[in-house]
């Protein structure tokens, strides 16, 4: 294959991947953030302590999170059809991607929010703040650097998931790699796909780290910033996939 043949293929696949990942990240953040915060609040000693609710949410999150994505995707097929009217294509892939990412992100949010010093919560309570104030003024803003890092991790994980979605007709870079690299032995295109993925993931990770760090810096005494975590995050991705 020549470059002029490969270029439009790659370009389209790249946009497809970003489209799927972008929307599913958005949904994962919108759904996972309140879920993660709720996991902290309902826990024993939390502001909305409710052991039963905590157990139920925690269990749902655990099961959904440990489900292999490819199985989740197949299992959700009828739901996907109900939502989007189809089970193939970019839009259809967003449904299982988002549903798979919500519990993933929720757990990361939970960890991030738990790190917030309980003294800050107490301080806001002593000023007469209610639970919603605590969430809005303390829990979310104080854990924001971690939340951004969690979002980055989620995006990178979703790129991994989206490649799997590609194998069942969602398009994107995963689809290219399978159809051309695996089925047609177009080694060059496959390596190009790998390169593009590496660049995309690196850029996202870099941007995420930069954002988290610049938020963190105003909190840190000097430039003591978390190190770039390109390698760590990509190994985490391969594990989660």
Nearest approach, Cβ of 137 to another protein (angstroms)?
6
Q: Is the dihedral of CA 24, 156, 236, 211 positive or negative?
A: negative
Q: 6 or 144, CB closer to another protein?
A: 144
Angle at CA of residue 84, ends 80 and 87, nearest 5°:
50
Please report how close the Cβ of residue 56 comes to another protein at its closest, in angstroms: 20
Taking alpha carbons only, the member of 162, 13, 11, 176 closest to residue 93 is 162
Q: Which is nearer to another protein, 10 or 116 (CB)?
A: 116
Residue closer to another protein (CB basis): 48 or 60 = 48
Q: What is the three-state SS of 55-112?
A: HHHHHHHHHHHHCCHHHHHHHCHHHHHHHHCCCCCHHHHHHHHHHHHHHHHHHHHHHH
Residue 8 or 128: the one with the smaller Cβ distance to another protein is 128
Residue with tokens 């177009």: 186
Q: Which is nearer to another protein, 89 or 129 (CB)?
A: 129
Question: What minimum distance in Å lies between the beta carbon of 145 and another protein?
Answer: 9
Q: CB of residue 136 vs another protein: minimum separation in angstroms?
A: 10
Please tell me the total number of residues recorded for the chain in this structure. 241
User: Which residues here bind another protein, judged by CB under 8 A?
Assistant: 47-49, 117, 119-120, 122-131, 133, 137-138, 141-142, 144, 215, 218-221
- Tell me how far, at minimum, the Cβ of 130 lies from another protein, in Å: 6
């Amino acid at each position: 294959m020549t470059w002029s043949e490969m270029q439009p293929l790659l370009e389209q696949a790249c946009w497809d991947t970003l489209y799927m990942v972008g929307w599913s990240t958005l949904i994962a953040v919108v759904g996972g953030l309140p879920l993660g915060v709720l996991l902290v609040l309902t826990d024993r000693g939390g502001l909305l302590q409710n052991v039963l609710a905590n157990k139920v949410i925690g269990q749902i999150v655990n099961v959904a999170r440990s489900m292999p994505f490819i199985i989740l995707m197949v299992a959700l097929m009828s739901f996907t059809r109900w939502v989007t009217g189809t089970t193939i294509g970019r839009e259809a892939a967003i449904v299982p991607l988002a549903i798979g990412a919500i519990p993933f992100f929720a757990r990361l949010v939970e960890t991030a929010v738990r790190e917030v010093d309980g003294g800050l919560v107490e301080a806001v309570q002593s000023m007469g703040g209610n639970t919603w104030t605590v969430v809005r003024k303390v829990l979310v803003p104080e854990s924001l650097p971690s939340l951004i890092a969690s979002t980055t991790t989620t995006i990178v994980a979703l790129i991994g998931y989206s490649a799997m979605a590609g194998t069942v007709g969602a398009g994107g870079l995963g689809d290219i790699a399978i159809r051309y690299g695996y089925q047609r032995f177009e080694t060059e295109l496959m390596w190009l796909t790998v390169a593009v993925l590496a660049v995309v993931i690196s850029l996202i990770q870099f941007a995420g780290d930069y954002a988290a760090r610049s938020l963190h810096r105003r909190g840190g005494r000097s430039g003591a910033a978390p190190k770039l975590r390109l390698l760590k995050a990509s190994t985490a991705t391969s594990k989660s996939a």
